[in-house]
Structure 1
Amino acid sequence: MSALHTISINWLTVPLFMAVILYDMRFMRIPNWLVALFVIVAVVSLPFSTGWIDLLWRLVASATTFLVCLLLFAGRLMGGGDVKLLTVLALLIPVSALPLFGVILSLSIFVSVAAIYTARRLTQGKPTRWKAISDRKGFPLGLGIGSAGIVFVLIGPMLL
C-alpha cells in the first residue's frame, strides 16, 4: 500500500471514528449510516490496497469477528452498532495488525470505562445531555472502539 493511499484512508477514517465517539456518547447508539460510511471506505479502498489472498483473510477475520460479537450481543454485553462497526473494521485492518489492534482496543475500552464511571460520579444528580453519562445502565463501547481506531491510525504503523 502506498503512503498516499494510507494518508487518504486515514483522512477518511479519523473523522468517522470521532463521529462514532460523539454519537455513542450523546445517544448511546451507533447509527447505521455511520457504519455504512465505513463500509464504503472499505469497498472503495480494498481493491486498490490489498491482494486477493489478503482480502480473503480479511473476510475470514471479519466473519469471525461478527460471530464472536454476535455471541456478546446475544448475552447483552454489546450493542448492535458495536457488532456492525467491529465487523467492518476487521476488513479495514490488515490481518497481521489485528493482534495489535486488539491490544489497543482492550486498553481503550478499559480507559473509557474508567472515564465514563468517573464522569458519571462527578455529574451524579446533575442534568446532562450526554446519554452515556446520564444513563447509568449501559456503557458506550463506541468510545473505546473510536478511540482505539484513532490511536491505531495515528501510531499503529510505527508499532508494526
Structure 2
Amino acid sequence: MELTAAQAIWLLPPVLPICVIVAWNDMRAMKIPNWTVGALLVIFAVFGLIAFGPQIWAWRWLHVVVMLIIGMALNAGGAMGAGDAKFIMAAAPFVAFADLTNILLILAVTLLLGWAIHRIVKHSPARRLVPEWESWKTGKRYPMGFPLASALVFYLAWPFLF
C-alpha cells in the first residue's frame, strides 16, 4: 500500500465525518448531498497538500478529472447514480494510482458486506430504529454511498489496521 500512516493521519480525521454523513444520508434519502462532495475536495485541497507535498498533490487532481469523465459516462449509461459518480470523483485524489487494485478489493468487500448488512437490517426489527429511510422502499436499488464511503474510510485507515 502506497498510503503511509503519516499521510493517513492528516486525511482520515477530516474525511471520516463526511463519509459518515454520505453513508447515512444515502441510506436515509437515497441522495448524496453536493456539499459533501465539495467538502471532500476542499479537504483534499488543504490536507492533501500537507500530506502529499505539492508535486504528488498536483498530480492527484488528474484523478478527479479522469473519474469525473468516467462517472459522467457511467451515469449517462444508467450504470450509476449521479451522486455516486460525484462521490467517486471527489474521493479519487485520496487514492494513489499504485493502490488501484487495493481500493478495488476494499470496495468489493465493502459492497458485499454493506449490501448484506443493509438487507439484514431491512428485514429485521432493527429497521424500526429508522423506519423512514428511503432505502428500505427502493426495491432492488441500493444506496451505494454506504459502501463507497466505507471503502474510502477503510483505505485511509489501512496503515493503522495492518
TM-score, reference length from structure 2: 0.81
Q: Per-residue CA shift, 1:18-46, capped at 9, x if unaligned?
A: 11111111111000111111011011123
Partner of 1:131: 134
Q: Per-residue CA shift, 1:59-92, capped at 9, x if unaligned?
A: 3333222222222211222111111111111112
SS at match of 1:138: coil
Tell me, yes or no, if the aligned pair for 1:20 and 1:146 is still in contact at 8 Å.
Answer: yes
Q: Is 1:77 aligned to 2:62, yes or no?
A: no
**RMSD value over aligned CA atoms?**
2.6
Q: CA deviation at 1:117?
A: 3.1
Partner of 1:10: 12
The 4+ residue runs of structure 1 with deviation greater than 6 A are: none
Going from structure 1 to structure 2, the CA distance change for 1:34 and 1:151 (only over 3 Å counts) comes to same
Going from structure 1 to structure 2, the CA distance change for 1:9 and 1:51 (only over 3 Å counts) comes to closer
Q: Is 1:35 aligned to 2:34, yes or no?
A: no
Q: How many residues align?
A: 157
Q: CA deviation at 1:17?
A: 1.0
How many Å separate the matches in 1 of 2:90 and 2:123? 33
Q: CA deviation at 1:99?
A: 2.2
Tell me, yes or no, if the aligned pair for 1:14 and 1:153 is still in contact at 8 Å.
Answer: no
Partner of 1:20: 22
How many Å separate the matches in 1 of 2:38 and 2:29? 18
How many Å separate the matches in 2 of 1:153 and 1:4? 11
Partner of 2:149: 146
Question: Which amino acid is 2:153 matched to?
Answer: I
Q: CA deviation at 1:137?
A: 4.8
Partner of 2:97: 95
Q: CA deviation at 1:105?
A: 0.9
**What stretches of structure 1 of length at least 5 have no aligned partner?**
none
Question: Which amino acid is 2:138 matched to?
Answer: D
**What stretches of structure 2 of length at least 5 have no aligned partner?**
none
How many Å separate the matches in 2 of 1:92 and 1:146? 12
Tell me, yes or no, if the aligned pair for 1:25 and 1:140 is still in contact at 8 Å.
Answer: yes
How many Å separate the matches in 2 of 1:12 and 1:92? 12
